[in-house]
Structure 1
Amino acid sequence: MDKKNDRELEQNLRKSIYRFGLYLGLIVVMALIVVFLGLWKASNQILFPALAGISKDFKECNSDAETNFGKFCGNIRLSKQYKYQEIKIPSINGYELPGWLIPARENGKSVHKGVVIFVHGGGSDRREFSRFIPFYLHQGFDIISFDLSCHGEAPCLFPGLSFGSREFRDVLSAYLYTEKKYQNIIMVGSSVGASSLLISLPFLKAVKGLVLENPMLDFKSLILESPESANLPNWMLQSLIEIVYIRGNFDFLLSPKNSLSFVNDVPLFIIHSKEDSVVTFHHSESLVNLYKGPVDFWFPNFGSHGKVWDTNQIEYESKVQNFIQKNITH
C-alpha cells in the first residue's frame, strides 16, 4: 500500500513539475514576444520617423506643421512667394530627386554670389528649409532644396531611414549637379542631413563651407546616448541596434566620425543646442575635436532639435553670415 502511495505521489510530483515547467516556458515565451514586439516598434520609430502634420505627397499641412515649416508648411508652390523652377537631380542611387531652384536674380537680388544647397533631416522633406530662403536670397545666393530618397516626393527603392548611409549618395549627387555651374557652393544640413553631408565630406572638394546643425557622431552612439536608452539594459540596446541594421539594410560603418579624417580643408560651422534631446550636443563636441580642418562652432543653451534659428533668429543668422563671408570667393 505504501509503495502504491509513493508511486502516486511521485507521479503527481512529476505532473506538477511538468505543469510548472510548461507554465514557466509559456511565461518566458510570452515575455520574449513582448520584448521583441517592443523592439520592433522601437525600430519602426527609428527607421520611419515622421514629423506631425506633414505627409510625403505634400497634401497634409496642419497648424503644428506650419509652426515648424512656416506658411503652407514651407510649400513655395502654394505660398507663391518666390520665382522658382522645378528640378530633377539624377542620383547615383539610380533615380531622380525632385527639388526646387530659387534663383537670386529672378527674385530681385542684384548681387549673385553662388548657390546654397539645403539638405533636410530624417522624416522631413525639402519644405523644412523654406523659412531660411529670405536669409540666403538676401545675401545673393541661388537656393536648391531637394528631397532625399524616401522623403517628400522622392522615390523609395528601399524603405527606411539609413542615417546617412544611403542619403549621403543623394547629397553627393546634388553636389555634382551644381559643381560645374557655380564657383561658390555652400551646403546646409540638419540632423540626418548634416550627418549625410559629413559622410560625403571627402568628395565635396569644391564646397566653400558646410553649415551643420545637430549632426550625429555615428548611428550606434545616437542610440546608446539617447535619453530613451538610459534605463534599458545593454543587451536590449544591442538587440535594438541589430534589428535596425537588419531591417534598414544599411552600412553602419559609414559615419561622420569615420569620414572626418580624410579631409582638412573644407570649412565647417557646427551648430548644436545644449537643449537638444534627440541628438545630444556632445556628438558635435566630439566632431569639433576630431576635425583637423577649419571649424567654427556654436553651442547655445536654447533651442530644441533643429530649432536654434526659431529660438534666436538674429544671432543665428549673424553667425552664419559671418562664417559664409569669411569663406566664399567674392
Structure 2
Amino acid sequence: MTQNEKKNHHPKRNWILPRVGYSLVIVFSLVLFAFTFGMWSASDQILFPNWKGVSKDFLKCSPEGEKNWGKSCGNIRLTKEFYFREVLIPSLNGYDLPGWLVPAHENGILFSKGVILFVHGGGSDRRELTRLIPFYLNQGFDVLSFDLSCHGEAPCMVPGLTFGNREFRDVLSAYLYVSKKYKNILMFGSSVGASSLLIALPFLNGVKGLILENPMINFNRLILDSPESASLPNWMIQSLIDLVTSRGKFDSLLSPENSLRFSSSVPLLLIHSKKDFVVSYKHSEFLANLYPAPSEVWFPELGSHGKVWDENPSKYEARVKDFIQRNISKK
C-alpha cells in the first residue's frame, strides 16, 4: 500500500461506531416515547374512566349502558317511572350539583321515614343507582340522587376523578342540604362514592347509617393492589401514582383509612363481593377492622364491581332492610 493509499484509507470500524451510537439513541428514544405514552394513557384511564360505554349525554343510551343501568340507562326523565323534582345542591366546591329528588309520598308510599342520599361511583353519574330507587321508596325513604363534580351534568372546574379528594366535599354539601329538612338520613355510596362517604364520615354525625359498596382503603392501595400492577416494578407504579395525582391536582392523604379514626357514632354496613377485581374485598375487611365503632360486613361470593344487587336482589335487599330497621328504630 502506497503512502497516499494509507493516508486515504479509513478502517470500517470508524464508520460502524457512529452508526451503533445513532441506533442506540434511536432505540432509547423509542423506548422513552413508549414508556411516556403508556404512562400517560394509563393515567388517562384512571382520571377519566368510562363506565360501561355510557356518555354524559343523558339523551343517549348504549345497549351496554341499558344492560347495566336499566331502561334508558336509568334516566327517569325519559322513563317517567317516578314522580321526581330536579334540584340543585350548593357545593362547598363553589358550584351547584344537579340532582333528582324522588319523594316517597308522591310515589304512593303512605309514610315517609326520612331520606337516603345516593352517591354514585367514579366515572358514572346519578343514573347508575336508579335501579335501587324502588327498594328504598318501599322502605319509606325519599331518594336524592345527584352528580358528583365532573360527572354527569355537574360542573368540572378541575377535570379528573380524585377518588374522594374533592368528591367528599360534594357529599358533605349534600348532607348539609338534606339535614335542614330531614331527621332520619341514610347515605349509600358505591366505589368512589363509598370512599367519599368515608372520608366525610367525621362530619356526618347526624346520619343514621351508611351503606357502602366496595370502598377502597386509599388511592395508593387501589393502584398497588390492582391486577395490572402485579407485573410492574414498584418504581413504575409510584411514577404512575405521582403522574395521576399531579395531573388531577390532588394528593392521597385524604382517605377512608385516615378518616375512620375520627368517627365512631355512625353505623356502617360494608358490602363487597369476593369477585370484585377492581377493588379487592380485603379493602372493606381492613376498613371494618379499623373502625372504632361496631360495623357490619357482608362479603357475597358473586357480583362484579358495583353489581352485588344485580346478582341476588332479594338477598341483598334483605340484608340492607335489616340494617335500616335496626338503626332507624333505635334512634
Q: Would you call these one fold, judging by a TM-score over 0.5?
A: yes
Deviation (angstroms), 1:8? 5.2
Identity %: 61
Looking at structure 2, the residues matched to 235 and 19 of structure 1 have their Cα atoms a distance apart, in angstroms, of 32
Structure-to-structure mapping, 1:305-316, within 5 angstroms: 305-316=305-316
Query: Would you say 1:107 and 2:117 are equivalent positions?
Result: no
Amino acid at match of 1:268: L
Deviation (angstroms), 1:97? 0.2
Structure-to-structure mapping, 1:64-143, within 5 angstroms: 64-143=64-143
Structure-to-structure mapping, 1:312-323, within 5 angstroms: 312-323=312-323
Deviation (angstroms), 1:62? 2.0
Amino acid at match of 1:35: F
Change (3 A) 1:6 1:268: farther
Deviation (angstroms), 1:53? 3.7
Change (3 A) 1:17 1:323: same
Amino acid at match of 2:210: L
Looking at structure 2, the residues matched to 25 and 6 of structure 1 have their Cα atoms a distance apart, in angstroms, of 31
Looking at structure 2, the residues matched to 8 and 45 of structure 1 have their Cα atoms a distance apart, in angstroms, of 58
Deviation (angstroms), 1:181? 1.0
| More displaced stretch, 117-126 vs 57-66 | 57-66
Looking at structure 2, the residues matched to 193 and 116 of structure 1 have their Cα atoms a distance apart, in angstroms, of 14
| Structure 1 match to 2:16 | 16
Q: What is the TM-score with the length of structure 1 in the denominator?
A: 0.96
| Structure 1 match to 2:304 | 304
Deviation (angstroms), 1:306? 0.5
| Structure 2 match to 1:286 | 286
Deviation (angstroms), 1:240? 1.0
Native 8 Å contact 1:82 1:107 kept in 2: yes
Deviation (angstroms), 1:123? 0.7
Looking at structure 2, the residues matched to 285 and 36 of structure 1 have their Cα atoms a distance apart, in angstroms, of 36
Looking at structure 2, the residues matched to 214 and 5 of structure 1 have their Cα atoms a distance apart, in angstroms, of 78
Query: Would you say 1:157 and 2:169 are equivalent positions?
Result: no
| Structure 2 match to 1:212 | 212
Gaps of 5+ in 1: none
Secondary structure in structure 1 of the residue aligned to 2:58? coil
Looking at structure 2, the residues matched to 219 and 149 of structure 1 have their Cα atoms a distance apart, in angstroms, of 18
Native 8 Å contact 1:265 1:294 kept in 2: no
Deviation (angstroms), 1:14? 4.1
Looking at structure 1, the residues matched to 40 and 63 of structure 2 have their Cα atoms a distance apart, in angstroms, of 31
Gaps of 5+ in 2: none
1:107-154 per-residue CA deviation (whole Å, 9 max, x = no partner) reads 111111110000000110001111111100001101100000111111
